[in-house]
Amino acid sequence: MKSQDDTASKKSNFINDLIKADLESGRFDSRVQTRFPPEPNGYLHVGHAKAICVNFNISREYSGVFNLRYDDTNPVTENTEFVDGIFEDLEWLLGETLQREPLHTSTYFDQLYIWAEKLIQDGKAYVDSQDGDTISEQRGGFQKPGTNSPYRERGVEENLNLFREMRSGKFSDGECVLRAKISMDHDNMNMRDPIMYRIRHENHYRTGDDWCIYPTYDWAHGQSDAIEKVTHSLCSLEFDSHRELYDWFLDQLEITGADRPYQTEFARLNFTHTVLSKRLLKHLVEQKVVDGWDDPRMPTLRGFRKRGYPARAIRSFCEHIGVARTNGTHEIELLESFVRNDLNKAAERKMAVLKPLLVTITNWPEGHVETRTAINNPEDDTAGTREVPFSGSLFIERDDFMENPEPKYYRLSPGREVRLRYGYFITCTDVIKDDQENPIEILCTYDPETSGGKAPDGRKVKATIHWVSAEHAIDGSVALYERLFTSEHPGEETGEALDDVNLDSKTLLEGVKLEPSISDLPLGSVVQFERLGYFHLDATGPTFFHRTVGLRDEWANIVKRRKSS
Ligand code: ATP
Ligand code: MG
């Protein structure tokens, strides 16, 4: 795995090498065209983000063309909610509007049908009237040849008639399929007379009831690439064994020269503590383990967006990891460090108290309110300052007080002096408790001489804590998140990723106290709450924040540990 300080150059990877060679040889008349072909049966996840960035960046780098193509060949699982969602998420990720209208495999249904008839006429395809289970049993296995279908030797005329009847709706779902006639003992299982068309009496969101037969991925994909004049068909490694079939179909259709795309595979993106299979993500949504596809714990682009991940950070991450030819798993902490580094520069600082405890300053002049000047972003000189009201009645974090402090606990405790961020030094003089002995109010004195954050006599304090003036605070809520999967590699032990779901991965805090300037924040802002992490304000509730990421750079710790071991 790479560390963030690796100088992985996006220029030097095997795909760029291929493209450069093609440009030099004039293979595609100097054209470069890529596409991102999602099936609209779910929302995009961070694995798709990698595929998008790879394809999009190539088109940019070589002044080529990039298209979004919906691979909409299965009306049973696809719908317009996903179509619209994919478009929105893709533009969000790229941070720009797409220059070209999205394309659809369904636009090519007519052409694909004509080509299928050509294959039948050439004796390269046949209608099989067996059921699906029988067909898959007959495929055989590794080092076990398949069995020919009893319908394999049907004549051209019969096949053509049957195929036309399939198309006209004479048969019901599953009664027959169109298969390519290649070989049932081919080493590559994908070449054992693969299915080209299935019957599905379903309404398609674009073609309505025009069709009751739908092309398979393998039959549709390469041909769609060719129709669109894609040059480099880039996909993830699991399609490796489909490449031979991709080429076989193009051979049969005599698509050659500059018109002929070719497929190249790159490694899938995987993360620790994460699943990136649409099937599993769908399951989490349907079983209500999460609050939807946009739940901030989900690795979906809309989950990340709701959590406050900047699209720019995801793009930088994808560029950093580059493309490889072998699958690997990246630590989720690496992605989080890109998010943190981005926000560190971009996010304004605010003060917020998540679990409030009241502090009364007993020697503060009755009714007096002061404003303190706070720095908006120490990483950004242009971000300026703001005024924060300070009074004799403040909230601090419950965790920042301990009645009987443990060793190395330097924050507030009886008799102890600490600094208030942008405020004064205060010393705890007394604790007021409820009947269960829980502290409910802390009495303190302040030292008016420490207004500048330092004591004139040079005495030191060991801790600085944040605060919000009680009478000026605005109320809000915060959702805190932990990893959705406790295990680094979900399902590693039981084989079932869902066994490792962390059902307690979300904590909702109400009655959070926020500094008043937060009421001016526009929805969508991500800010740093001092000492607590980065938080995203969204419309989930009135003044509702999702915790984006904590402040601690866990990735740096991983790198350090690795270097020392
Ligand atoms: P499923 O999980 O059902 O296999 P999928 O995530 O592959 O679905 P598609 O809509 O087929 O969904 O994917 C569109 C494109 O995204 C494909 O070209 C695929 O190669 C790419 N892709 C999907 N997942 C990843 C991933 N984890 N890393 C890189 N690319 C991916
Ligand atoms: Mg897929």
Is 11 a known active-site residue? no
Phi, psi of 236 (to 5 degrees): -85, 165
pLDDT at 256 over 60: yes
- Give me the chain's average pLDDT, please: 96
From start to end of 275-342, where are the E strands? 328-330
Ligand 1 pocket, residue 329 CB under 6 Å:
no
388 belongs to a structural domain: yes
Selecting among 39, 202, 319, 441, the annotated active-site residue is 39
Domain-terminating residue out of 167, 193, 215: 215
pLDDT at 262 over 60: yes
205 belongs to a structural domain: yes
Give the model's pLDDT for residue 4. Answer: 43
Mutate-to-test residue for ligand 1 from 34, 36, 48, 326, highest number of ligand atoms within 8 A of CB: 48
Is 39 a known active-site residue? yes
Give the model's pLDDT for residue 325. Answer: 87
**Average pLDDT estimate for 422-430:** 98
Ligand number nearest CA of 73 is 1
385 belongs to a structural domain: yes
Pairing of strands 526-529, 348-350: parallel
pLDDT, one tens digit per residue, over 289-302 is 999 999 999 999 99
Give the model's pLDDT for residue 278. Answer: 95
Burial of residue 389 (CB within 10 Å: 0-12, 13-18, 19+) is middle
pLDDT at 379 over 50: yes
Residue 127 sits in a domain whose CATH number is 3.90.800.10
Give the model's pLDDT for residue 45. Answer: 98
Q: Which domain holds residue 179?
A: 109-215
Residue 12 — very low, low, confident or very high, per pLDDT cuts 50/70/90?
low
Q: Which long-range contacts (CB under 8 A, 24 or more apart) does 405-413 make?
A: 410/462, 410/463, 411/463, 411/465, 412/442, 412/444, 412/463, 412/465
pLDDT at 7 over 50: no
**Average pLDDT estimate for 516-529:** 97
Give the model's pLDDT for residue 328. Answer: 85
* Protein residue with least CA distance to atom 27, ligand 1: 47
Give the model's pLDDT for residue 11. Answer: 52
Ligand 1 pocket, residue 371 CB under 6 Å:
no
* Protein residue with least CA distance to atom 13, ligand 1: 38
Tokens read off for 113: 């049908």
pLDDT at 5 over 90: no
Domain-terminating residue out of 171, 186, 215: 215
Ligand number nearest CA of 48 is 1
113 belongs to a structural domain: yes
Residues 461-492 as b/e (b if ≥16 CB within 10 A, e otherwise) read beebbbbbbbebbbebbbbbbebbbebebbee
Is 268 a known active-site residue? yes
The CA distance from 267 to 323, in Å, is 7
396 belongs to a structural domain: yes
**Average pLDDT estimate for 343-369:** 98
Residue 327 — very low, low, confident or very high, per pLDDT cuts 50/70/90?
confident
Pairing of strands 474-481, 439-447: unpaired
Ligand 1 pocket, residue 269 CB under 6 Å:
yes
Q: Say how many Å lie between the CA of residue 114 and the centre of ligand 2.
A: 26
Domain-terminating residue out of 447, 471, 495: 471
The CA distance from 81 to 278, in Å, is 15
pLDDT, one tens digit per residue, over 147-185 is 999 999 999 999 999 999 999 999 999 999 999 999 999
Please state the domain count of the chain.
2
pLDDT, one tens digit per residue, over 67-93 is 999 999 999 999 999 999 999 999 999
Question: What kind and span of H or E run contains 559?
Answer: helix 554-564
Mutate-to-test residue for ligand 1 from 67, 216, 236, highest number of ligand atoms within 8 A of CB: 236
pLDDT at 111 over 70: yes
**Average pLDDT estimate for 212-230:** 98
Largest Cα separation within the chain, whole Å, is 103
In the block, residue with structure tokens 């420490």: 450
pLDDT at 8 over 80: no
Give the model's pLDDT for residue 9. Answer: 43
Give the model's pLDDT for residue 3. Answer: 41
Give the number of the atom of ligand 1 that is nearest the alpha carbon of residue 41.
10
pLDDT, one tens digit per residue, over 432-452 is 999 999 999 999 999 999 999
Query: What is the number of helices (H) and of strands (E) in the chain?
Result: 13, 27
Give the 3-state secondary structure of 212-266: CEEECHHHHHHHHHHHHCCCEEEEEHHHHHHHHHHHHHHHHCCCCHHHCCEEEEE
* Protein residue with least CA distance to atom 29, ligand 1: 268
Residues 197-223 as b/e (b if ≥16 CB within 10 A, e otherwise) read bbbbeeebbbbeeebbbbbbbbbbbbb
399 belongs to a structural domain: yes
Ligand 1 pocket, residue 207 CB under 6 Å:
no
pLDDT at 385 over 90: yes
367 belongs to a structural domain: yes
Q: In this predicted model, which residue has the larger pLDDT, 325 or 462?
A: 462
437 belongs to a structural domain: yes
Ligand 1 pocket, residue 47 CB under 6 Å:
yes
pLDDT, one tens digit per residue, over 391-416 is 999 999 999 999 999 999 999 999 99
